[in-house]
Amino acid sequence: MPTFKYQSRDGAGTLKAKTLSMAKAILASRQITPLSIEQSSHTLRLGKHSNKRQQTFLASLSQFLEHHMDLGTALQLLTQSHDHHTQALSKKILARLNAGETFYSACQHYLSELPAWCLSAIDSGEQTAQLSETLKRIHQQLHSLNVSKKKLIKALSYPSMTLFTGLLSIIAFVQLSLPQIQSLYDDNGKALPGLTRCLVSFSHGLSQFGWALALAIFLMAICSAALYQKHYRIRYRVQALFLLCCKPYQTQVLSLLFHQVNTYLKSGFPIAEALAQCANTNTCLPISIRLLQVIDQLKAGQTLHQSIDSISHCPAIVKQLLFIGEQTASLAQSMETLAKLYSDTFTHDLETLQRYLEPGLMLFMAGLISVVMMAIYLPIVDLGKMI
């Protein structure tokens, strides 16, 4: 049985459970609210379906449930799907339902690759008899996340390829041309110009220690990733730094948060419990801690917009929409509006980043090429004077 490590406000610990959701249920029964929880030992898992396949399955199932079919009939129809993975997944879940298990329990076994908040939302949707709407919202949100990832990759792929190709070309040019210039100067007993000597030293160092440097960078990246996953404080500080300095990351995290709260509210959860579910399933630790603080303020008798405003500074439009949502009993609608607002802001931030990143990269490459060309042409001019 896998072992899970958790970190709470009162300390850290470990426990054994079959799945992540079961581990969270055990902690909830012990009245422990985890800030982070992760699997520390892994068992061999065969036959798992990819995240994309699972999203396809949820989309197909939600479409059948929208036509007022019961869950068993919808799964029975999906067993006749042309998609092999959807067909196999439907048969496995249907078998567990026929054995007396709930849909949420079956999903814990066969949809474990989905984010934790998805399984939690499925559980709440099943309990409140709103599984169709819950699955539809989960699919829409996952699709929105995939679109955001594609936009991010598209925005960064061209500058990254340009930078990599440019640096590789410059290094190859330096490695081929500078040794010949140095040999000419050595034959004439002349000293190279200072800028050229620096570039020659860099070229020699790269020739001798290039592979060792690449290996060291690779190992540092692996160690940094391991430390980020293992240590709560390091992960918290890195995420807090990104929230402070990277606006696209900030808007994406907030968009996901408001989408999640909206999903829980429309599933019938009260606001405090919806925020608690988000705090348990959110992967951004600073956001989870702020949510727990908001919950404490709500329990003390404050309203939602007052709680958020007293803990951290937030834009006026967020406070205004939350205030209107509380006054008109339409908090879920306010959350949905905020989610769309931050999603649109994320797209705009990416476009802005791309608009400034490409010219900035061109200026950097132009400056680097200018330095290399000066380092190469200065000794050529000196050789011409000697002739």
Residue 9 and residue 138 in one domain: no
Contact 6, 32 (CB under 8 A): yes
Residue 167 and residue 293 in one domain: yes
What is the per-residue pLDDT for 48? 42
What is the per-residue pLDDT for 21? 61
Residues of the chain with pLDDT under 70: 1-3, 9-11, 16-22, 25, 29-30, 35, 38-51, 112-113, 311-313, 383-387
Per the structure, the count of domains in the chain is 2
| Residue 87 included in any domain | no
| Residue 126 included in any domain | no
| Residue 45 included in any domain | no
Contact 384, 181 (CB under 8 A): no
What is the per-residue pLDDT for 46? 35
Neighbours of 59 (CB within 10 A): 17
Contact 192, 181 (CB under 8 A): yes
| Residue 362 included in any domain | yes
| Residue 387 included in any domain | yes
Count of residues for the chain? 387
Residue 142 and residue 35 in one domain: no
Beta strands (DSSP E) in 201-337 are: none
Residue 148 and residue 14 in one domain: no
| Residue 114 included in any domain | no
Contact 3, 31 (CB under 8 A): no
Residue 135 and residue 24 in one domain: no
3-class DSSP assignment, residue 3: strand
Q: Tell me the residue range of the domain where 30 lies.
A: 3-39
Residue 305 and residue 160 in one domain: yes
CA distance 291 to 302: 14
Residue 333 and residue 185 in one domain: yes
What is the per-residue pLDDT for 45? 39
| Residue 252 included in any domain | yes
Residue 149 and residue 32 in one domain: no
Give which of 279, 281, 254 is closest to 341, Cα–Cα: 254
Structure-token match 């930078």, residue found: 163
Q: For 33-44, what is each residue's pLDDT tens digit?
A: 776 776 654 433
3-class DSSP assignment, residue 114: coil
| Residue 379 included in any domain | yes
Residue 310 and residue 172 in one domain: yes
| pTM confidence score | 0.70
CA distance 98 to 263: 28
| First-to-final CA distance of the chain | 80
